[in-house]
């Protein structure tokens, strides 16, 4: 692993799973007198930098909040711009992600998506499913409350089918019915733009995540910002409800 500010610390161990709320594209553009679309385009560049940095730093899982279930309420022109960027990102960057041994996974609701978008998501997963490097989890058309609702529906179907008794429902049952049950909870959740809320992102999984709020807008996020967030994370004592801090991820 290349030497970084974080890796120079004795006993460096990166968080296993980092999740990022990529916020502030529009405000970044507005502050520069640019159209919102330019902010989204620069946000894609920040995503490329972050994926490369995460791999270099030894992070195993990187989850990005790319498009929320609530984002459909934005103006149609902006939604069209965002869908166009998604199409171009997959078409232009997927081959590079594959060469870099990155595995792409998608979480979120897929019903009702435009057919070509749904096909691109499947293509991204299918092409990279054999890779064993960084796992890039894209939360697309995603909302945590919606995910938990889907899990409740799946559990109800099992009960109605006689495959599960109500008294046997546990937290593990719920986890098994989430969108990516095999992915560990995020150790660190980063939100850019200075906002300090989760905005319906990974609510179940974030129960014991460390939260770091970064003042800069997402288009300005880079390797140094990621390292700084990891350095802050490493100063935290993670007790998971107990009295003794637990180290490692």
Kindly list the domain boundaries of the chain, sorted by start residue.
17-143+185-234
13-61: per-residue pLDDT in tens? 889 999 999 999 999 999 999 999 999 999 999 999 999 999 999 999 9
Q: Which CATH number fits domain 17-143+185-234: 3.40.1640.10, 3.40.50.450, 3.40.140.10, 3.40.1180.10?
A: 3.40.1180.10
For residue 200, the 8-state DSSP code is S
- Flag whether the pTM goes above 0.85: yes
For residue 12, the 8-state DSSP code is -
Q: How many CB atoms lie within 10 A of CB 126?
A: 10
| Residues designated as active site | 23, 71
Q: CA 65 to CA 20: how far, in whole Å?
A: 6
Long-range contacts made by residues 111-117, C-beta under 8 angstroms, separation at least 24? 113/141, 114/83, 116/87, 117/83, 117/86, 117/87
170-183: per-residue pLDDT in tens? 999 999 999 999 99
Residue 128 has pLDDT above 50, yes or no: yes
């Amino acid at each position: 692993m290349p030497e970084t500010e974080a890796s120079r610390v004795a006993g460096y161990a990166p968080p296993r799973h980092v999740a990022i709320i990529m916020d502030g594209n529009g405000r970044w553009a507005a502050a520069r007198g640019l159209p919102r679309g330019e902010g989204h385009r620069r946000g894609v560049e920040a995503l490329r930098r972050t994926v490369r940095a995460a791999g270099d730093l030894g992070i195993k899982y990187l989850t990005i909040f790319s498009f929320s279930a609530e984002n459909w309420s934005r103006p149609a022109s902006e939604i069209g711009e965002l869908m166009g960027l998604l199409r171009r990102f997959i078409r232009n960057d997927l081959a590079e992600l594959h060469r870099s041994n990155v595995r792409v996974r998608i979480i979120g609701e897929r019903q009702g998506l435009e057919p070509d978008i749904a096909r691109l998501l499947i293509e991204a997963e299918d092409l990279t499913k054999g890779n064993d490097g960084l796992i890039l989890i894209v939360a697309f058309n995603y909302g945590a409350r919606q995910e938990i609702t889907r899990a409740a529906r799946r559990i109800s179907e099992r009960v109605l089918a006689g495959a599960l008794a109500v008294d046997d429902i546990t937290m593990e049952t719920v986890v098994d019915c989430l969108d990516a049950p095999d992915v560990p909870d995020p150790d660190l959740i980063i939100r850019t733009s200075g906002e300090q809320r989760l905005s319906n992102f990974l609510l179940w999984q974030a129960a014991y995540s460390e939260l770091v709020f970064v003042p800069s807008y997402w288009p300005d996020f880079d390797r140094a910002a990621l390292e700084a967030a990891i350095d802050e994370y490493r100063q935290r004592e993670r007790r998971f409800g107990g009295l003794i801090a637990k180290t490692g991820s």
